[in-house]
């Protein structure tokens, strides 16, 4: 049985003002060993996050992504699929666990099929399955990404390299929040002044993360008026923590749809984070993952 190993990073989307556009790849990974068998059926083993909770058959998200990829490539569906999943990305916490699973499945299928399938088509299908490109872009490409869709609905991205001094810290609660629930709290329209405010802050955030990751700039650049306060009732502890951190000068935002909080640690703020967090949160210092999803065949490692 030929197998392929896929490693996919956690991601944080929005980063405050960059709603549905900005994403950051983080040094926390799910690993998937995928193989095709001659025996009919699906065999899935899962360890780590989600073990005992996720489907172990055709409804497993990596399997679904592989099936979609085979169909899109015009390749016959294999008789059997075998997966070994080692999950480290928390589920339903705003760290891109579903995007990681989708990307892992698409890349595994492409590698095992052995056909030419362009990266932009992988990105397009990943976006289609996820519904938006802000997490799948950094998961596939790594680094800091700006993603958007054109008038025809096709997704695009630009990858940027954050300054090496950018140090993300994730503050993960035990509670979960479904992305659909968080999105359901957003209004259909927002005031023009709030949209203008966020446009300026998102532009400033790109400059701060790539050129001048100074505490003052990052604090101003991570301000948001489009989504976080609308979602606060669904995650009051996260909203309160963001407020506490920002009050003492720490650039902090809700990661993706939440409820994880993302903070940027600088020389001025690294000692200010822990005292504001409390015992209900898991604090994890991370690096920015520079390369995104990684594909290897065992014999080439």
Cα dihedral across residues 274, 276, 280, 285: positive or negative: negative
State yes or no: 27 annotated in a binding site: no
Residue 67 pLDDT > 70: yes
Question: What does the pLDDT look like over 193-213, one tens digit per residue?
Answer: 999 999 999 999 999 999 999
97 is in an annotated binding site: yes
- List all residues 6 or more positions away from 23 whose beta carbon is below 8 Å from its beta carbon: 11, 12, 13, 14, 15, 96, 134, 135, 137, 138, 139, 144, 145, 147
* Mean pLDDT score of the chain: 94
Whole-prediction pTM? 0.94
Judge whether 201 is annotated as a binding position. no
C-alpha–C-alpha distance, residues 158 and 150, integer Å: 13
pLDDT single digits (tens) 138-190: 999 999 999 999 999 999 999 999 999 999 999 999 888 887 888 889 999 99
Two tokens, residue 125:
């299908």
> What DSSP element (H or E) covers 261?
strand 261-265
> Which pLDDT score is estimated for 132?
92
Task: Give the rounded percent of residues in the chain with a pLDDT score beyond 70.
Answer: 99
The reply to whether 240 sits in an annotated binding site is no
- What is the DSSP-derived secondary structure letter of residue 56? S
pLDDT of residue 299 exceeding 70: no
Q: How many CB atoms lie within 10 A of CB 129?
A: 20
**In degrees to the nearest 10, what's the CA dihedral of 121, 127, 133, 138?**
-60
236 is in an annotated binding site: no
Would you place residue 120 in the very low, low, confident or very high pLDDT band (cuts 50, 70, 90)? very high
**50 marked as part of a ligand binding site:** no
Per-residue pLDDT reduced to its tens digit, 94-115 = 999 999 999 999 999 999 999 9
Tell whether residue 96 is among the known ligand binding residues: yes
The H or E element containing residue 99 is helix 97-113
Mean pLDDT of 62-87: 96
Residue 52: predicted pLDDT: 85
Q: What is the Cβ-side half-sphere exposure of residue 1, based on CA atoms within 13 angstroms? A: 15
Q: Encoding tokens for residue 176?
A: 């979960």
- Read off the pLDDT of residues 223-250 as tens digits, 9 standing for 90 and up: 999 999 999 999 999 999 999 999 999 9
Q: Flag whether 90 is marked binding.
A: yes
Q: What percent of the chain is predicted at pLDDT more than 90?
A: 86
- Whether residue 265 is annotated as binding a ligand: the answer is no
Least confident span in 34-43, 101-110, 131-140: 34-43
What does the alpha-carbon distance between residue 161 and residue 293 come to, in Å, rounded to a whole number? 16
In the block, tokens 């949160």 appear at 281
In contact, 226 and 198? CB cutoff 8 Å: yes
Please say whether the beta carbons of 293 and 2 come within 8 A.
no
Residue 301: pLDDT over 60: no
């Amino acid at each position: 049985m030929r197998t392929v190993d896929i490693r996919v990073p956690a991601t944080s989307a929005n980063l405050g003002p960059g709603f549905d556009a900005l994403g950051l790849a983080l040094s926390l990974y799910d690993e998937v060993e995928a193989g095709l068998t001659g025996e009919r059926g699906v065999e899935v083993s899962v360890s780590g996050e989600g073990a005992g909770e996720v489907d172990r058959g055709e409804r497993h998200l990596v399997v679904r992504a592989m099936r979609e990829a085979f169909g899109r490539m015009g390749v016959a569906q294999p008789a059997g699929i075998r997966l070994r999943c080692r999950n480290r990305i928390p589920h339903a916490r705003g760290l891109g666990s579903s995007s990681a699973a989708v990307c892992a499945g698409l890349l595994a299928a492409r590698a095992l099929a052995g056909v030419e399938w362009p990266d932009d088509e992988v990105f397009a299908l990943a976006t289609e399955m996820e519904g938006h490109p802000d997490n799948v872009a950094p998961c596939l490409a790594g680094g800091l990404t700006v993603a958007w869709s054109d008038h025809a609905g096709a997704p695009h991205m630009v990858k940027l390299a954050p300054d090496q001094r950018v140090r993300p810290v994730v503050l993960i609660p035990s509670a979960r929040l479904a992305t659909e629930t968080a999105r359901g709290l957003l209004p259909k329209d927002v005031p023009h002044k709030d949209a203008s405010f966020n446009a300026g802050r998102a532009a400033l955030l790109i400059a701060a993360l790539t050129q001048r990751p100074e505490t003052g700039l990052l604090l101003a650049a991570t301000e948001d008026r489009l989504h976080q306060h609308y979602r606060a009732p669904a995650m009051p502890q996260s909203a309160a923590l963001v407020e506490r951190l920002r009050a003492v000068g720490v650039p902090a935002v809700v990661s993706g749809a939440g409820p994880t909080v993302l903070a940027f640690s600088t020389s001025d703020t690294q000692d200010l984070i822990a005292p504001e967090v409390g015992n209900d949160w898991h604090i994890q210092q991370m690096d920015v993952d520079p390369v995104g999803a990684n594909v290897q065949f065992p014999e080439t490692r």
